[in-house]
Chains A and B, each alone.
Chain A
Amino acid sequence: MANLDTMMPPVTERSNILRWARKNLFGSWTDSLLTVVGALIAYWAMRGFLNWALNVAEWEVISANMRLLMIGQYPIEHAGRLWLWLGFLVFLAGNSIGIWARGSRYAFLLLLAPAALALAPFGSEPKRWLVALTLTGLVGWGLGRGKPEVLKRSVIAGWVVSLPIIVILTHGLSSSETGFMPVVRTTLWGGLLLTFLLTVVGILFSFPMGVALALGRRSELSVIRWFSVGYIELVRGVPLITILFMAQLMLPLFLPDGWTLDRVLRAMVGITLFSAAYLAENVRGGLQAIPKGQYEAAEALGLNGVQTMIFIILPQALRLIIPILVGQFIGVFKDTSLVAIVGLLDLLGIGKTVLAQPQFLGLQREVYAFISLIFWVLSYGMSYLSQQLEVRLGVGKR
C-alpha cells in the first residue's frame, strides 16, 4: 500500500508543497522526466477533450432526443408509471440510507442526484418529476432515520417486491386501450429503460440459476456434476454475442409450434443464461472458501443438508463474494449494450436510430460520447457505492 502513503502525505509534510513535490514528482532524474511527460500528456488530452466538448460538439442531437435515449418509444402518456416505480425505488433507497448508513454524514447527498439531473436538458415535466424524486427520497430518508427499527422489515420486503412492481408498472395490466394501465408492449421499451430492465432481470434470474449450477458443480452425483460443468464451460467458452444470436434466431425454432417469445424476453433469456455460468463460478469460489468445520458444526447442531446449505453455508459464501458479484453485475450492465447488434433499441440501439434522423447525421461522436458517459457514470457509481458499503459493513473480510 505504498502508494497510499504517497498520495496522502501527512499533514506536517503537506504544508511544505515544495518538499512534497520533490519527493513525489522529482525524486530522481527519471522520475522528473516521467513527471514532465505525464503532465504533458494529461494537459494535451484534457485540452483536446475540452475544446471538442465545449466548442466543436453539437449537443443539440442529445437534447432533442433525450426522451428517446431515456425511454425509447415508450408512450409519453404512460411515462408516469415509470416515474412511479422510480419514485418507489428512490423512496426505498432513502429509507435504506436512513436506516443502514446512519454513520455516514454525507450518504443522503446521494438523494440530491435526481434534482441535480434536473439541470440537464430535460423538458419541464421530467424536471418537475426529478425534483419530486429527490423530495420523495428525502422523506424516505427522514422516516428511515426516525424509525429504523419499525421500518427495517418493510423496507426489505419493499426491495423484494420491487422487481414485480417495476415489471407490472412498466408492462401494464389491462389489454384494452382504455382500461386501467393499458399494456405497453415490449417492442416500445427502449433506451436506458430497456438497458436497465435487461440488466435487472438478467441479474435477478441468473442468480438462482448460478447458485444451483455452483452447487451442482460441487455435487457428488456425477450426472449432475458433469451437467453443470458442461453447461458452465460451454457458456464461458463462447462470446455473449453468439448466445444472443442464438436466442434471437434459434430459440423460436426450439419452441413448440405456435408459440413465440417476445424479442426483448429472448434477449433477457440470453443474458440470463450467459450470466448464470459466470455467476456459478464466482459462487463456487465462495463455497470453496467455507471451511469444513462449518458443515460439521451444522451437522452437530442437527441441521440436515438442505438446512445447512440455506442457513449456514450459502449466506457466508455469498457474503464473502459480494465484491466479486458487484463486479459481475456491472459487467452484465455493460454487456447489455450487445443487444443493439441483434436489433433491440436499448441505449446503444436507440443511439443508432437517432443517428439516422436526417437533421442529425454524422454526429456519431456526440451520441456515442453521451452513451459512454451514461455507462461510465452508472458503472462507476455502482462500484464506488459498493466499495463504500464494503468498508462500512466489513463485507468481504472474515
Chain B
Amino acid sequence: MRKTYTIFTLLVLVALALAACGTAAPAPSGGDTVTVVETVVVEVTSSAPVVVAPTGYGVTLKAVQERGKLVCGVNSQVPGFGYVDANGNFAGIDVDYCRALAAAIFGDASKVEFRPVTAAERFTALQSGEIDILSRNTTWSLVRDTELGGNFVHTTFYDGQGMMVPKDSGFTTLKDLDGGTICVQTGTTTELNLADVMAAEGVSYTPAVFEDADSTFAAYAEGRCDAVTTDKSGLVSRRSVLPDPAAHVIMDVTMSKEPLGPMVRHGDDQWFDIAQWTVFTLFSGEEFGLTSANVDDMRASATAPEVRRLLGLEGDLGLKLGLTNDWAYNIIKLVGNYEEIYNRNLGPDTPTYIPRGYNSLYTDGGLLYAPPFR
C-alpha cells in the first residue's frame, strides 16, 4: 500500500512540474489568471529561418498596434515627472510624453498603459519586453546606451545634479558639508556622482541611502541629513512641497550633467525613429506656435511649408515612419506642444514650478532644437 502511495506522490509531483511548465506556455484564450503576453523580442517569427534576423525592424510598432495599446514604463513617485494623482491617473512630463507617443501611433492619447517601474528594475523591464518604452527620468549615459541594451531618444529634460541644504545652516559650497550627512537615493547615477564629486573635492561625508525618493526627502525634511542631493528638477519640485519651502536653498553647484529622456530597446530602428520624432514634434510645435487650441485653425490656414509638412498636409512624413500622415497633428491636438506639457506639469501655476532654463527653445537661449521636418 505504501508503495502505491509513493507512486501517487510521484504522479502528483510530476503533474505539478508539468503544471508549472504549463503556466509558461501560451494560454490561447485568456480569461483566467494566467495572462501570458506575447512580447516583441528580436527573435524569429516561425516562418523565418533561424539564422540572423539582424534587427527587429518594425517589430515593436507592429506588436503595439496589434495589442491596441502602448505599454510605457514610468515613475510613480516624482511630482511633476511621474506620479499618481488622487483620481488614480498618472501625471507628469514623462507621462505626457507617453501620451504623445500613443497619440502619434493610434490617434488616441489614452491608448497607453502606464506601468510603474522602480529604479532597480527599469532596464530589465525594457530588455525583457515588458514595456515598449521607458520614460522615467532616466539619465543618458554610455553604459546604459551599450551594456544595458538600450537606445536613448533625444533628451526631453536637461537637468543637473544639485544639493539642497537648510537655509539656516549657512552652507554655500560642498566643502562646507565636510563631516556632514547627505541623503541620497540608491540605484541611481546620483549616488555615484555624489561619491565621485566629494572624493574629487576631498570632502568626507556620511551618506544616508534610501530606496525611494519619498523616504529620501522625508528623512531630509525631518533633519536626518545636513543636505540632500538629486537632480535639480527633483530638488525644486520637492522643495516646493516641503513644510517650509523658503527655509531651504539649492546650492549654486552643479555636480553633473543629467540629460533625461526616453529609452527604447536595441534593435528596432523604426521604433527608435518614431520615439525620436515624437520628441521633435513637441519641440517644433512650440517653435511654430502650434498648440492644442489652435492646431485645427492652423491646419486649415497654414502656409509655411514646414508646418504643412509637419501637419501632414504636404508630403508623407508620417508614412515614412510607418504611421499615418496626421501623426504629428494628433500629438499636438491631443497632448499639446512641449511648452504646454511643460507648463501643465512644471509651469509657474503648479506647485512644482521649475524655471525653464536649458529647457527652452534654442531661439530663447535653451537647448531644444529639432532637426528639420523634411
Contact = CB atoms under 8 A, between A and B. Distances in A.
Contacts of A76: 88
Given A252-B128, A308-B1, A361 B83 contact: no
A67 B39 contact: no
Given A249-B124, A304-B1, A260 B241 contact: no
A358 B79 contact: yes
B221 A173 contact: no
B26 A187 contact: no
A259 B26 contact: yes
Interface in A215-230: 215-216, 219-221, 224, 227-228
Interface in A138-174: 164, 167-168, 171, 173
B13 A216 contact: yes
A394 interface: no
B79 to A, nearest CB: 5
B299 interface: no
B38 A258 contact: yes
Contact of A252 (B86, B115, B124, B221): B124
Nearest to B128: A252
Contacts of A168: 31-32
A185 B124 CA distance: 20
B57 to A, nearest CB: 17
Interface string B205-229: 0000001111001100100000000
Contacts of B3: 220, 305
Contacts of B120: 343
A259 B35 contact: no
A305 B5 contact: yes
Contact of B86 (A212, A228, A357): A357
B35 A212 contact: no
B241 A358 contact: yes
B39 A215 contact: no
Interface in B75-98: 76-79, 83-86, 88-89
Contacts of B9: 212, 215-216, 219, 221, 224
B7 interface: yes
Counting contact residues on chain B (CB < 8 A from A), the size range is 35 or more
Contacts of A305: 1-8
B6 A219 contact: yes
Interface string B328-340: 0000000000000
Nearest to A295: B1
B276 interface: no
B118 A65 contact: no
Most buried by A among B7, B86, B129, B218: B86
Interface string A208-243: 110010011001110010011000000000000000
B243 A260 contact: no
A208 B115 CA distance: 32
A216 B9 CA distance: 6
Interface in A177-210: 183, 185-187, 201, 208-209
Interface string A231-273: 0000000000000000011001101111111110100110000
A170 B341 CA distance: 34
Contacts of B118: 342-343
Contacts of A65: 86
Interface residues of A, number: 70
A20 B117 CA distance: 60
Contacts of A90: none
A325 interface: no
B121 interface: yes
Main secondary structure, interface of A, reads helix
Contact of A187 (B23, B113, B212, B213): B113
Interface in A269-322: 269, 295, 298-299, 303-306, 308-309
B293 interface: no
A361 B242 CA distance: 7
B88 A67 contact: yes
B129 A167 contact: no
Interface in B99-150: 113-118, 120-121, 124, 128-130
Contacts of B86: 64-65, 68, 357
A345 interface: yes
A265 B26 CA distance: 14
A388 interface: no
Given A353-B76, A357-B85, A260 B113 contact: no
Nearest to A306: B8
A24 to B, nearest CB: 43
Nearest to B240: A358
B34 A356 contact: no
A122 to B, nearest CB: 14
Contacts of A303: 1
A186 B217 CA distance: 30
A173 B30 CA distance: 8
A73 interface: yes
B170 to A, nearest CB: 24
B352 interface: yes
Given A171-B33, A259-B24, A268-B33, A306 B5 contact: yes
A308 B88 contact: no
Interface in A335-375: 341-343, 345, 350, 352-359, 361-362, 364
A98 interface: no
Nearest to B217: A361
B37 interface: yes
A137 interface: no
Nearest to A227: B13
A356 B115 contact: no
A32 interface: no
Most buried by B among A72, A227, A298, A356: A356
Contacts of A268: 33
Interface in B16-38: 16, 23-26, 30-38
Given A175-B30, A263-B115, 15 more contacts: A73-B84, A215-B12, A216-B12, A259-B24, A268-B33, A298-B1, A305-B1, A308-B5, A341-B211, A342-B118, A343-B121, A345-B116, A357-B84, A357-B86, A361-B242
15 contacts: A67-B88, A68-B88, A164-B32, A208-B12, A224-B13, A259-B26, A260-B128, A262-B35, A298-B1, A308-B1, A309-B8, A357-B84, A358-B352, A362-B221, A362-B241
Interface of B: 1-10, 12-13, 16, 23-26, 30-39, 41, 43, 76-79, 83-86, 88-89, 113-118, 120-121, 124, 128-130, 211-214, 217-218, 221, 238, 240-243, 351-352
Interface of A: 64-65, 67-68, 72-73, 76, 164, 167-168, 171, 173, 175, 183, 185-187, 201, 208-209, 212, 215-216, 219-221, 224, 227-228, 248-249, 252-253, 255-263, 265, 268-269, 295, 298-299, 303-306, 308-309, 341-343, 345, 350, 352-359, 361-362, 364
Nearest first, the 4 A-B pairs at minimum CB distance are A305-B5, A305-B4, A343-B118, A252-B128
